[in-house]
């Protein structure tokens, strides 16, 4: 029976998504530098030609995975509303970090290469989010004005540094005598708490109270 164009297109899209899912799993496990199309083909029981039909080279796969991650990252901006408080800020940061974990192999490869792609980066997007969050949190009484522009910039830089570096700390520790054995949930919660802690110098008293409550719950594994 001859397949319709729609059936052929759906099958092609299905194969493409299988390739991307398999590639992401392999890159997360082995790193982007060890990622090979022939290894992916073997893992998926596909021929290398079947993969190169959809992606001419491995860099095309990595680029599309990166683009998908950035698209998902953009969605979190809509949750930064005028009602933002410290607990909501933690939830948003946690969701972002969970996304970075999901794409950790690709994210780490990009960070090692200045994480840039057509002017976008984890740092740029983080900086935009934190600037917006600071303004709302100040208006809502959770953050105070910095003493000077240098202090404001230092807090923003610390937030962005924690956002882009925690995955590297997690992965590098595997090769040390004292590796970090955090599972995904624990790693994401601890990283999100550290990002939030970078804001602490500008917290008001009620923000510090909320932070302490979040910190206690993360420490006890209740989040």
Q: Could you give the C-alpha distances from 126 to 70, 108, 132, 179, in angstroms and in order? A: 11, 15, 10, 27
Burial 13-49 (b: 16+ CB within 10 A, else e): eebbeebbebbbebbbeeebeebebebbbeebebeee
Q: Predicted confidence band at 173 (pLDDT cuts at 50, 70, 90)? A: low
- Rounded to 5°, the CA angle 206-212-217 comes to 135
Q: Predicted confidence band at 114 (pLDDT cuts at 50, 70, 90)? A: low
Q: Is the pLDDT score of 216 beyond 70?
A: yes
In the predicted model, what is the mean pLDDT of residues 161-190?
Answer: 74
Q: Tell me: the pLDDT tens digits for 81-112? A: 999 999 999 999 999 999 999 999 998 888 76
Q: Which of 70, 57, 63, 54 is nearest to 102 (CA)?
A: 70
Q: Is the pLDDT score of 159 beyond 70?
A: yes
pLDDT value at residue 119: 46
pTM: 0.85
Q: Percent of the chain scored above 90 by pLDDT?
A: 64
């Amino acid at each position: 029976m001859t397949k319709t164009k729609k059936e052929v297109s759906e099958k092609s899209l299905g194969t493409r998504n299988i390739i991307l899912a398999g590639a992401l799993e392999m890159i997360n496990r082995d790193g982007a530098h060890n990622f090979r199309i022939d290894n992916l083909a073997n893992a998926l029981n596909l021929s290398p030609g079947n993969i190169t039909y959809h992606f001419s080279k491995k860099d095309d796969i990595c680029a599309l995975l990166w683009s998908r991650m950035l698209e998902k990252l953009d969605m979190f901006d809509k949750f930064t509303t005028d009602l933002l408080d410290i607990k909501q800020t933690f939830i948003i940061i946690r969701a972002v970090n969970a996304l970075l974990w999901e794409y950790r192999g690709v994210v780490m490869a990009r960070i090692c290469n200045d994480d840039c792609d057509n002017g976008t980066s984890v740092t740029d997007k983080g900086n935009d989010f934190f600037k917006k969050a600071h303004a709302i949190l100040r208006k809502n009484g959770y953050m105070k004005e910095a003493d000077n522009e240098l202090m404001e910039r230092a807090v923003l830089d610390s937030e962005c540094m924690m956002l882009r570096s925690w995955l590297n700390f997690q992965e590098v520790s595997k090769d040390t005598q004292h590796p970090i054995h955090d599972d995904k949930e624990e790693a994401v919660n601890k990283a999100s708490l550290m990002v939030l802690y970078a804001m602490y110098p500008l917290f008001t008293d009620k923000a510090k109270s909320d932070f302490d409550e979040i910190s206690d719950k993360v420490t006890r594994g209740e989040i």
